[in-house]
Amino acid sequence: MKLTGNVEDFKLKLKAMPFGTQEIKYHLDAGFFNDIEKTEVRRASVEATVVVTRKEADFFQLEMTCSGSLIIPCDRCLDDMEHEVDARYRLDVKQEGDEVDDSRDELLIVPEAWRELDVAPLLRDTVLLTIPLTHSHDDAAQCNAEMMTYLCGAAETAHDDEQDGAEATDPRWEALRQLKKNK
């Protein structure tokens, strides 16, 4: 089954899930990543597969696989750059008690009363965690030449300003130096 876009499509009906394995496919676009919270994703084409295995009446195993590409801004020149996504995440879900417990990395405990589990945030985080903290074109030559020229000019100006500042001494510091010499 392939789903896309509808918020309800991302909600797994836990109580109605048959025992055994179910496979659900999703297509994730930029709207998916920006609907919940604004992200840097400008465009996206990611195919996600969620394999749900119901092991017991209250125990489910989720295996998420995401592959495709994102268009995000380069940190160096701000032009669009492509980021390839190939991510896997496995999560066990157990219905138990009355509170959510997500303190363990690979086990999510949800209240027994929950009838649905929204996998949208799980898929979103799985993909977004593949983006490095600093992301730029592999080669600076791929960056926007006009922006790089501007940045290099700004860096030179800042360096010149630092040198000019080093030559002009604040008179207060000069007065302190004189006091030190007079000792």
Domain count, the chain: 2
| Domain containing residue 157 | 144-182
Shared domain for 159 and 81, answered yes or no, is: no
Q: pLDDT tier at 1 (50, 70, 90 boundaries)?
A: very low
Examine residue 138 and state whether it is found in any structural domain, yes or no. Answer: no
Per-residue pLDDT, 5: 55
Q: What percent of the chain has pLDDT over 90?
A: 45
Shared domain for 94 and 157, answered yes or no, is: no
Examine residue 134 and state whether it is found in any structural domain, yes or no. Answer: no
pLDDT(52) > 90: yes
Shared domain for 86 and 154, answered yes or no, is: no
pLDDT in tens, 58-102: 999 999 999 999 999 999 888 999 999 999 999 999 998 889 888
Examine residue 136 and state whether it is found in any structural domain, yes or no. Answer: no
Shared domain for 35 and 81, answered yes or no, is: yes
Instruction: Report pTM.
Output: 0.75
**What letter would DSSP give residue 162?**
H
Shared domain for 13 and 62, answered yes or no, is: yes
Shared domain for 168 and 83, answered yes or no, is: no
**What letter would DSSP give residue 141?**
G
* Cα separation, 119 vs 35, whole angstroms: 14
Decide the pairing of beta strands 107-110 and 80-95: parallel
